[in-house]
Structure 1
Amino acid sequence: MNHIKDGHSVLIIWNGNDQNELSNLMNEVKSLAKIGNVVLENSERITESSRPQSSFDIVLSNWIPPHSISHTDSLLAIIIKVLRPSGRLILKDHNDLTSTLKLNGFINVNKDSGNVFVAEKTKFEVGSKASLKLGSKPAVWKLDDTVESAWNGGNDDDTIDPDQLLDEDDLKKPDKQSLRVCATTGKRKACADCSCGLAEELRGETKETPKSSCGSCYLGDAFRCATCPYLGMPAFKPGEKVMLDLKADI
């Protein structure tokens, strides 16, 4: 009750209460509001058109036992409409209505040990408009000169001649013998993570030539045994290195 001040306009929402208690509550509120206006509304009959928008400073709801008013979203929507900006809703409810009140637009929601909730309406009406003063000339993003020049294609003075990116040493054809030496070790020995093909080449040099156990492997698959290392290869002359003709028709 300490939120009710002299001159406040107060709405009391009631439902099925004892008429004597209701009368006592109204007299108490009138003594606090003094020259203010005090109005009664039944919770089951109040509508959005019952009272003008923003017409009350304080709304008291469910204040008298048995506290049977259900504060639904529709009722809270009516209450926040009839409250003036920064007006307060003071209600009693055994349920925790903190989240419900906030979701219905109330701010600064507080609850005391006696199940009394106090919630405020914002300082402005829902749907209020305000003009924003942005100045006579809005600020414009400007690119750095270097970035802007590059974005626009740059000037001729800033372009680089691609021929200047290579010198004479870059244009020299490498010696074939130098390619047979590892650029990392400087020797004819592949490094651990060789990727130039030298490791494969060296493995090919050390690979032993398969030996025939029957002596007729060179004649072709018709003369080769099931374990012949030349199986699937074309016929060849004895001592000749087996070569596949990749251009031959299949």
Structure 2
Amino acid sequence: MHNLKNGDNILIIANDEASIFNIKNKITENVKITSIPTSKIDSTDSKTSFDFIIYADNIVTGISSTVLTKILALLKPGGVFGISDVVSNFQKIEFELKISGFINVTQGDNAFLYCAKPNYEIGSSAKLNLKSKPAKAVWKIDDTIEDDMIDPDNLLDEDDLKKPDAASLKVCATTGKRKACKDCSCGLAEELAGEAKTNAVNSANAKSSCGSCYLGDAFRCATCPYLGMPAFKPGEKVQLAGSLLKSDI
């Protein structure tokens, strides 16, 4: 019999005496043998552990996962489980054994299938040495070459340091733009109205240097006095509709 030793504790699971008798006759070692029917597996005390368990019932479709789980619990760590008369459905039973926790499934002599329980018990633990040597520094601050460092003062030029004109920054607190709101009380509305009048006077006296100002903003230069006004006919007085003088806010 596969890996049997003198003094081993053997469990035979079989429903008929003839199968038990045939297996006992194959055992030549001096061992302790216990035999139970398949129906008694669940009631077997799990505190009793066996070195070798033999399942001698006729197997057609395989063994249930419940039975295999119980057998695994009855085996000692490293113990062997053997199934007799496994020929045609070896691959199916092999799969069932592996997913139940058995290892080293092999086909033995006399149509026997053997497997083993892992050499540790469920719930066992081992202390891990998590201490490790500190990693070697790849680089250090001292290794930095100062010549390659950028002086932050060189990132700004003279134009960046100029203080902006306060008038160009004045915007409406409500709109966030240089456009007065409907209920403006900060003085921006009066300021914009004054600028509009000044621009109107300048526009009335202004003369075009390019002769294209009447065509619209697309044909006007950046300093054109007519910038922002509608297109008009040459010689025509520029007038704004009443709706254009009202705030959109």
* TMscore range, shorter length: 0.5 to 0.7
Stretches of structure 2 that go unaligned for 5 or more consecutive residues are 162-213, 216-228
Compared with structure 1, are the counterparts of its residues 165 and 234 closer, same or farther at alpha carbon in structure 2 (3 Å cutoff)?
closer
Q: Is contact 1:107–1:122 with CA below 8 Å preserved after alignment?
A: yes
Aligned to 1:60: 54
Q: How many angstroms apart in 1 are the aligned matches of 2:232 and 2:46?
A: 110
Aligned-pair distance for 1:81? 1.2
Compared with structure 1, are the counterparts of its residues 108 and 20 closer, same or farther at alpha carbon in structure 2 (3 Å cutoff)?
closer
Aligned to 1:12: 12
| Seq. identity, % | 33
Q: Please point out which of 65, 76, 94 is paired with 1:73.
A: 65
Q: Which SS does the other structure have where 1:81 is aligned?
A: helix
Compared with structure 1, are the counterparts of its residues 67 and 87 closer, same or farther at alpha carbon in structure 2 (3 Å cutoff)?
same
Q: Is contact 2:12–2:20 with CA below 8 Å preserved after alignment?
A: no
Q: Is contact 1:9–1:36 with CA below 8 Å preserved after alignment?
A: yes
Q: Is contact 1:60–1:90 with CA below 8 Å preserved after alignment?
A: yes
Aligned-pair distance for 1:90? 0.9
Q: Please point out which of 45, 63, 75 is paired with 1:83.
A: 75
Aligned-pair distance for 1:170? 9.0
Q: Is contact 1:48–1:78 with CA below 8 Å preserved after alignment?
A: no
What is the aligned residue count?
172
Q: How many angstroms apart in 2 are the aligned matches of 1:11 and 1:124?
A: 20
72-81 or 3-12, which moves further after superposition? 3-12
User: Which residue type is aligned with residue 35 of structure 2?
Assistant: L
**Cα deviation code 1:97-148 (max 9, x no counterpart):** 222211211111224697642211111111112222345xx6566875449x
Aligned to 1:125: 121
TM-score, reference length from structure 1: 0.52
Q: How many angstroms apart in 1 are the aligned matches of 2:23 and 2:128?
A: 46
Q: Which SS does the other structure have where 1:97 is aligned?
A: helix
After superposition, the CA RMSD in angstroms is 4.4
TM-score, reference length from structure 2: 0.52
Compared with structure 1, are the counterparts of its residues 101 and 67 closer, same or farther at alpha carbon in structure 2 (3 Å cutoff)?
closer
Q: Is contact 1:62–1:69 with CA below 8 Å preserved after alignment?
A: no
